Structure 1
């Protein structure tokens, strides 16, 4: 997969210096929902260069430096340090690639059975790593079986599925704290009243593009802040304005 650029239209209050909300399409909403499906272990390598908040980075580094002498014989460090996210059935091939080195296991997931799976209780057991011990006969489980994704749901009258998490027939509103709701004129007016915007002339629309750099910044900000869009995009918009 190649890196995908996703567009957002920001509504900025230039007086209070904040993003009120953003207009977003299906691709950005799929990316946001995609974050919730990621194992925590995938966050840490992405954020280490930008600084980790809290102690999860210390746990990660402990696993990296711990000798295999102290680990269980069948444990592979990679399962902890580089966990794969399972997005079964959501059509991950169409998700925007905004986070680097996050691998889906939906197409590579493997399971193993006992060689004697056709007899006794061995048939009841399956493992997600090779050389597990069958609880029934104590033999090594080495016969590979593959995980099969369920078919993507197809809407009535539609010849194909969009994949991802949400439908692409509407525009979505994303709040500064990443709350998501369908976009409507009424909801926009209600929000302007809620934010006590008195000068419409102080509002500015700005279209921004997200690549992997912005994707990682959004991930980091979502773990630390309630003003994610402002924190990530307003400094960038300010720099672009000064350059112009």
Structure 2
């Protein structure tokens, strides 16, 4: 019986090591977890909100576009690659900070007439757009400089912003150690900063829901896709914890989101 148990433990460790080592994010694609990850959605529909405003925008920017996947879905929804916004021909641009994603995004978005800029708010970059030149900035789970957003928005322009709360998936750090990387990312702070930049908040909502993994292998795959959740995570030091979690599967963590959307008066 002990031999069987030892063999199962070794095989479990091998599977988890392979899943973690063999996984990396490409674009912003979680399809490797299809059927193994289920997640609740916030009560608001951020994508629908973006599509409605994009349909009328003449100049729009998608911050942190990843591989362009989400922006392409939005462009398809509004029904055209170029087209016209409310005030003239639509010009859509995007930014991306992660070097591996830049060529991927540029290749994917080129047929849609979208220019992708290398931009990272955390580096202190200046947005590559003139003052008051954009009527929509979309930001889904990307860092940003609110002063730069306010600078590039035209009067009446909208900043549509949904973020991962800094307390997201706290269970992962409780199990495996580490501290949240962005504890300041909270709705109250976002509202205060937007108002201080001269914007008027139009929507402010926060939400907590459940993310459920089918087993420990799915969990370590996810942590390989989003390594910033538990920086420096390795499988071997945590095999005992992972085995315990696997024995009680499914494995649930708490996801937290908020949106803080604002208009330039």
TM-score by length of 2: 0.25
Q: Rg: which structure is higher?
A: 1
Task: Answer 1 or 2: which has greater strand percent.
Answer: 2
Structure showing greater relative contact order (alpha-carbon pairs closer than 8 Å, 6 or more residues apart) = 1
